Chains A and B, each alone.
Chain A
Amino acid sequence: MVNQARWQRVGWGVAAWLVALLMFFPIYWMIMTSFKTEAAAVSTPPSIVPMEPTLQNYETVFEQSDYFRFAWNSVVISLGSTMLGLLVAVPAAWAMAFIPSKRTKPTLLWMLSTKMLPPVGVLVPIYLLFRDWGLLDTLFGLTVVLMLMNLPIIVWMLYTYFREIPKDILESARMEGAGLWQEVVYILLPISLGGIASTVLLNVILAWNESFWSLNLTSSDAAPLTAFIASYTSPEGLFWAKLSAASTLAIAPILILGWFSQKQLVRGMTFGAVK
Chain B
Amino acid sequence: MGSITLNGVSKAFGETNVIRDVNLTIEERDFVVFVGPSGSGKSTLLRLVAGLEDVTSGRIEIDGRDVTATPPARRNLAMVFQSYALYPHMSVRNNMAFGLKMAKEDKAVIEQKVNEAARILELTDYLDRRPAALSGGQRQRVAIGRAIVRDPTAFLFDEPLSNLDAALRVQMRLEIARLHQALGATTVYVTHDQIEAMTLANRIVVLRDGVAEQVGSPLALYHHPVNRFVAGFIGSPTMNFLPATLGAADDNGVSAWVGDTEVPVAVDASGHEEGEAVTLGIRPEHLLTSGDSGLPTLSGEVQVFERLGGITYIYLRLSDGEVLTVEAPGDIAVKVGDRRSVGIDGINCHLFAPDGQTLPALRRHPLATE
By the criterion CB–CB under 8 Å, are A175 and B89 in contact? Answer: no
By the criterion CB–CB under 8 Å, are A191 and B89 in contact? Answer: yes
By the criterion CB–CB under 8 Å, are A171 and B88 in contact? Answer: no
- Counting CB contacts under 8 A, is A9 at the interface? no
List B residues 124-151 near A (Cβ within 8 Å). Answer: 146, 150
By the criterion CB–CB under 8 Å, are B102 and A176 in contact? Answer: yes
Q: Which of A174, A186, A193 contacts B72 (CB 8 A)?
A: A174
A171: nearest chain-B partner, CB-CB? B52
Binary per-residue interface labels of chain B (206-231) against chain A in the complex, 1 for a CB within 8 Å, 0 otherwise: 00000000000000000000000000
List B residues 50-82 near A (Cβ within 8 Å). Answer: 50, 52, 71-74, 76-79, 81
Q: Give Cα A241–Cα B138 distance, bound, in whole angstroms.
A: 65
By the criterion CB–CB under 8 Å, are A177 and B73 in contact? Answer: yes
By the criterion CB–CB under 8 Å, are A175 and B102 in contact? Answer: no
Q: Give Cα A173–Cα B86 distance, bound, in whole angstroms.
A: 9
List A residues 183-227 near B (Cβ within 8 Å). Answer: 186-187, 190-191, 193
Chain B residues with CB below 8 A from A179, complex form: 73
Q: Classify the secondary structure of A's interface with B.
A: helix
List the count of A-B residue pairs having beta carbons below 8 Å apart. 57
A190: nearest chain-B partner, CB-CB? B89
- Counting CB contacts under 8 A, is B85 at the interface? yes
Q: Give Cα A182–Cα B103 distance, bound, in whole angstroms.
A: 12
Q: Give Cα A190–Cα B98 distance, bound, in whole angstroms.
A: 14
By the criterion CB–CB under 8 Å, are B50 and A175 in contact? Answer: yes
Chain B residues with CB below 8 A from A174, complex form: 52, 71-73
Q: Which of B76, B78, B85, B146 contacts A171 (CB 8 A)?
A: B85
- Report the contact-size class of chain B (Cβ under 8 Å from the partner): 20 to 34
- Counting CB contacts under 8 A, is B99 at the interface? yes
By the criterion CB–CB under 8 Å, are A169 and B85 in contact? Answer: yes
Q: How far is the CB of A186 from chain B (nearest CB, A)?
A: 7
Q: Give Cα A166–Cα B87 distance, bound, in whole angstroms.
A: 10
Chain A residues with CB below 8 A from B81, complex form: 168, 171-172
Q: How far is the CB of A138 from chain B (nearest CB, A)?
A: 39
- Counting CB contacts under 8 A, is A178 at the interface? yes
Q: Give Cα A166–Cα B84 distance, bound, in whole angstroms.
A: 11
Q: Give Cα A168–Cα B103 distance, bound, in whole angstroms.
A: 20
Number of A residues, CB within 8 Å of B: 18
Q: Give Cα A193–Cα B99 distance, bound, in whole angstroms.
A: 22
By the criterion CB–CB under 8 Å, are A169 and B87 in contact? Answer: yes
Binary per-residue interface labels of chain B (92-119) against chain A in the complex, 1 for a CB within 8 Å, 0 otherwise: 0000001100110000000000000000
Given contact pairs A175-B73, A182-B102, A190-B89, A166 touches B150 in the complex (Cβ within 8 A): no
- Counting CB contacts under 8 A, is B83 at the interface? yes
B146: nearest chain-A partner, CB-CB? A176
By the criterion CB–CB under 8 Å, are A168 and B85 in contact? Answer: yes
Chain B residues with CB below 8 A from A168, complex form: 81, 83, 85
A191: nearest chain-B partner, CB-CB? B89
Q: Give Cα A162–Cα B102 distance, bound, in whole angstroms.
A: 23
Q: How far is the CB of B95 from chain A (nearest CB, A)?
A: 10
Q: Give Cα A193–Cα B89 distance, bound, in whole angstroms.
A: 10
Q: Which of B52, B71, B89, B99 contacts A176 (CB 8 A)?
A: B99
By the criterion CB–CB under 8 Å, are B77 and A173 in contact? Answer: no
Q: How far is the CB of B249 from chain A (nearest CB, A)?
A: 54
Q: Give Cα A171–Cα B79 distance, bound, in whole angstroms.
A: 9
Binary per-residue interface labels of chain A (151-174) against chain B in the complex, 1 for a CB within 8 Å, 0 otherwise: 000000000000000101101111
Complex A-B, nearest 9 residue pairs according to Cβ-Cβ distance, in ascending order: A176-B99, A168-B85, A177-B102, A172-B85, A175-B79, A168-B81, A190-B89, A174-B72, A177-B73
Binding site for B on A (CB under 8 A): 166, 168-169, 171-179, 182, 186-187, 190-191, 193
Q: Can you name 27 A-B pairs with beta carbons within 8 Å? A: A166-B83, A168-B81, A169-B85, A169-B87, A171-B52, A171-B79, A171-B81, A171-B85, A172-B79, A172-B87, A174-B52, A174-B73, A175-B50, A175-B72, A175-B73, A175-B78, A176-B78, A176-B98, A177-B74, A177-B76, A177-B99, A178-B102, A182-B102, A186-B98, A190-B89, A191-B87, A191-B88
What would 13 more interface pairs be, CB under 8 Å, given A168-B81, A171-B81? A166-B83, A169-B86, A171-B85, A173-B98, A175-B77, A176-B99, A176-B102, A176-B146, A177-B102, A178-B73, A178-B98, A186-B98, A193-B89
